[in-house]
Amino acid sequence: MRMFRNKINIGSCGFRKDGWLNLDKPSSHYSAWQSPIDIEHDLMTLNPICIRDECLDIAYTSHTIEHLSDEYVYHLFKEVHRILKKGGVFRITCPDIGKCYEAYKSGNKNYISKWKGEYRPFHELGIGEQFLFLFAGYLSPYHKGEVEKYTEEKIREIFDTKSKFDALTHFTTECQKHADNLQKIYPGDHISWWDHNRLKDTLSKIGFRNIVSQEFCCSDIPELQGFDRRNEDNVAKLNYTLFLECTK
């Protein structure tokens, strides 16, 4: 007998677990790691997810939303709210750009550099050029694509003259102008920024409640306890990752 699946992993990649649906887009970039996909869906669109209203208990997405333009993240959150039952839980993990911003402002280049391990070409960039790669990748000199790059001096000028929100959004807005075309070529690039406050504000506007930060693998929901280990980015980028849960 086939198990009833009332939970979904969005951007599932190599994930597989009984009782869970995998939602992802087939990708040559990730083909070596992708598990069978139950629901093929391009998250860089405004298409609805092919699931009926209020039928799932849990939705989970890990290190996915940073690869999407803001309008598509907002649409995804609205779709998750639609397909969850009342009281259903949504858990999100993604890079904590607020934490990275504080490291940049304090000059902690070692923290930013370690994002790419010991990879020398990344370490040779300026701290701003490195930081930019973490949330507006096309604009960093580390990205080899055709989009015009920001210099270390220009990055510093923008962060020195704008608020945190305005500076980060300035870069992601410029980056996302190219995303509909380039994210098909570079699906692994980061093109949006999130921290706890911005996520909480966005989710609250959609109608989610009980929005709280969590620790790695910790949850009040038994099914989600220890769950973050199933995504290798959560483990590899643990010092850079935020974990958040909310309910419908």
Please write the tens of the pLDDT for every residue from 135-189.
Answer: 999 999 999 888 999 999 999 999 999 999 999 999 999 999 999 999 888 888 9
What's residue 183's pLDDT? 87
CA diameter of the chain: 62
What's residue 1's pLDDT? 32
* 157 SS3 class: helix
Taking only the tens place, the pLDDT of each residue in 94-134 is: 999 999 999 999 999 999 999 988 888 899 999 999 999 99
Tokens matching residue 111: 């923290």
What is the CB-side half-sphere exposure of residue 12 using CA atoms within 13 A? 22
What's residue 33's pLDDT? 61
Q: pLDDT at residue 3 above 90?
A: no
Tokens matching residue 116: 């790419």
Of 222, 217, 220, 216, the closest CA to residue 240 belongs to 216
Which class for 91: exposed (0-12), middle (13-18), buried (19 or more C-beta within 10 A)?
A: buried
What's residue 5's pLDDT? 73
Q: What is the mean pLDDT of residues 228-240?
A: 92
Tokens matching residue 209: 């409640």
> Cα angle at 16 between 13 and 21, to 5 degrees?
85
Between 121 and 93, residue with greater pLDDT: 93
Contact 112, 127 (CB under 8 A): yes
Q: What is the mean pLDDT of residues 1-29?
A: 75
Q: pLDDT at residue 32 above 60?
A: no
Q: pLDDT at residue 2 above 50?
A: no
Q: pLDDT at residue 9 above 50?
A: yes
Whole-prediction pTM: 0.94
What's residue 4's pLDDT? 61
* 188 SS3 class: coil
What's residue 83's pLDDT? 97
Beta strands in 65-129 (DSSP E): 84-95
Taking only the tens place, the pLDDT of each residue in 203-219 is: 999 999 999 999 999 99
Helix (H) or strand (E) holding 5: none
Mean confidence (pLDDT) of the chain: 92
Number of neighbouring beta carbons within 10 Å of residue 121: 9
Angstrom distance (rounded) from CA 4 to CA 110:
47
Angstrom distance (rounded) from CA 119 to CA 215:
28
Between 126 and 16, residue with greater pLDDT: 126
Angstrom distance (rounded) from CA 168 to CA 183:
19
Q: Which residues pair with 62 in a beta bridge?
A: 93
